[in-house]
Amino acid sequence: MKCVFCGRDLVKSYETIERRVKGKLYYVKNVPADACKLCGEVYIDDEIVSKVGKMLEGLKQNQSTGSEVVDFKDLNNDLGTSVSNFAVI
């Protein structure tokens, strides 16, 4: 796959993304993605984005409106699925 902005090949990576659920900001680290090492654009598969949303909705919500860091790998392992085809770069 190529970057739509600069045309360079994308590489598999793990990224940190931000998502807001019910007023609380979550930083989700280790999300599998394709990244352009030239311009920095990040592409995340729709299935992964949907999975992240479902995982965050399933977390026990507290009253805090601050932020929290969660790890996609930990959440994903709880579901019994794998993202082992991605390499950390």
pTM for this one?
A: 0.75
> On the CB side of 13, how many CA atoms lie within 13 Å of its CA?
15
Cα–Cα nearest to 23, from 52, 51, 59, 63: 63
CA–CA separation, 55 and 49 (whole Å): 10
The model's pLDDT over 34-44, given as tens digits with 9 standing for 90+, comes to: 999 999 999 99
Tokens 């995982």 belong to 55
| pLDDT attached to residue 83 | 38
Other Cβ atoms closer than 10 A to 9:
11
